[in-house]
Amino acid sequence: MTTDFDQALPREHTNSVKFDARETVFGTEDVIPMWVADMDFAVPEAISQALLERAGHPVFGYSLFPDSLYEVMIRWFRTRHDWAIQRDWILMAPGVVPSLHAAAMAFAGPGDGIIIQTPVYPPFLSAVEKTGRRLIENPLVLEDGYYRMDLEHLERCAADASVMFLCSPHNPVGRVWERNELEAVLAIARRHGLTVISDDVHCDLIYPGAKHIMLAGLTTAHDKLVTAVAPSKTFNIAGLGLSALVMSDPAQRQALKQVFESLHMEQTNPFSAAAFEAAYRDGGPWLDELMMYLQDNYRFVRDYLRDQVPEIKLIESDGTYLLWLDCRKLGLSNAELKAFFIQRAKVGMNSGASFGEGGGGFMRMNIGTRRAVLAQALDQIRDAVNALR
């Protein structure tokens, strides 16, 4: 590798949510932070250089998105995902989470049903509830250590919904959906007139051996689909807050644009645009090395838990740097489980209970960190579990 992912980069006192909010989130700073979804790795050099070059001009006024930004994004998805995007399909947005809120307001009226597949990334739940829409949960089914969709239940949910939020790849369970699963979702959406908002923000974080399929690549001109993508998770630039929404229907683009304009959220930060473009233009080699390192981290956690902490089971994952840990054999309530990891193991993770139905008894672990940090956290978890026995 040309990138040293084992390089120690202290993040304390940098206004990092992951590190500097530990006291607020966990009640103590004495935890290894393995929660919020950003990584502890330096961004690709090309991104740092692009930001330095932009900073070299001392005026940071209102900015446009350059044509080159769209060009590199289109090339990235054509090359990496065999997905042909047209320039006018793209609507730039201030992040994927704001886009979920905007989509709820654009495509569902107050009180209308929006389907989510729990356990899922908590902003899916809050985007529905905070916009006054009605939450409809279509829980995933855990069978033999692997999650699948309950398509029969999804069909029933769709009869009472306007919109579906699809997490693809799925955070936190790590599923990279297969073609037949995605085609089944599309068929249900067509029968019931659903608008599908597909959050593909983790689409580049796929372990070797798995393949992400863009739902948009399976659609027809009549399907109602919005795809949310961003380089934020892939290249560790989530704090720069820029994403893209892709849809072929001009009416959908106009509906979303009107929501953003009503909130005056259509402007951009010039640094965000520079990083976005540099990531998709030059970040490929770095990403390929990252996925090798993350896969080794994944295997390290899997083997460690299997051999030393059999009470905690790692759910098999196809991608992302977020692992879903089944801790139900510890026999603790959700509150007790959260306290156990904070107070006994001194590892700060996300409680599965916050991910909706089916999340109780689980924890989400962020493995986007140095192997040495991962090893220390696992040793602390092992010692804490041993004390329970």
Structure-block tokens of residue 337: 């489980």
Structure-block tokens of residue 172: 């936190």
Helical packing angle, 96-107 and 250-262, nearest 10°:
110
Can you give the three-state secondary structure of 350-375, one letter per residue? EEHHHHCCCCCCEEEEECCCCHHHHH
Go through the chain and tell me how many residues it has.
Answer: 389
Q: Are 101 and 130 in contact (CB under 8 A)?
A: yes
Q: For 325-353, what is each residue's pLDDT tens digit?
A: 999 999 999 999 999 999 999 999 999 99
Residues of the chain with CATH 3.40.640.10: 58-282
The topology under which CATH files domain 58-282 is Aspartate Aminotransferase; domain 2 (3.40.640)
Which residues neighbour 303 within 8 Å (Cβ) at sequence distance 6 or greater? Answer: none
Report cis status (omega within 30 of 0) of the bond before 270.
no
Residues of the chain with CATH 3.90.1150.10: 17-44+284-388
Q: How far apart are CA 114 and CA 134, in angstroms?
A: 6
Structure-block tokens of residue 35: 């929660």
Q: For 273-316, what is each residue's pLDDT tens digit?
A: 999 999 999 999 999 999 999 999 999 999 999 999 999 999 99
Q: Are 213 and 177 in contact (CB under 8 A)?
A: yes
Q: How far apart are CA 340 and CA 60, in angstroms?
A: 47
The topology under which CATH files domain 17-44+284-388 is Aspartate Aminotransferase, domain 1 (3.90.1150)
Q: Is the pLDDT of residue 76 over 80?
A: yes
Residue 268 confidence (pLDDT): 84
60 alpha carbon, distance to own chain's centre = 30
At residue 226 the predicted structure's pLDDT band, cuts being 50, 70 and 90, is very high
Structure-block tokens of residue 287: 């990403």
Q: Is the pLDDT of residue 267 over 80?
A: no
Q: Are 176 and 147 in contact (CB under 8 A)?
A: no
Helices (H), the chain: 17-20, 22-26, 45-55, 67-81, 96-107, 122-129, 151-158, 179-192, 250-262, 270-282, 284-308, 334-339, 371-388
Q: For 31-51, what is each residue's pLDDT tens digit?
A: 999 999 999 999 999 999 999
The secondary element (H helix, E strand) that includes residue 199 is strand 195-199
Task: Read off the DSSP letter of residue 232.
Answer: T
pTM (2 d.p.): 0.95
Query: Parallel, antiparallel, or unpaired for β 322-326 and 362-366?
Result: antiparallel
Q: How far apart are CA 368 and CA 101, in angstroms?
A: 27
Structure-block tokens of residue 75: 């090339």
286 alpha carbon, distance to own chain's centre = 19
Q: How far apart are CA 336 and CA 350, in angstroms?
A: 14
Q: Is the pLDDT of residue 111 over 90?
A: yes
The 10 Å Cβ neighbour count of residue 68 is 11
Q: Are 357 and 284 in contact (CB under 8 A)?
A: no
In DSSP notation, 203-220 reads TT-B-TT-----GGGG--
Q: For 158-192, what is each residue's pLDDT tens digit?
A: 999 999 999 999 999 999 999 999 999 999 999 99
Scan for tokens 């985007």, then name that residue. 127
Q: How large is the average pLDDT for residues 213-242? A: 96
Structure-block tokens of residue 109: 């009226």
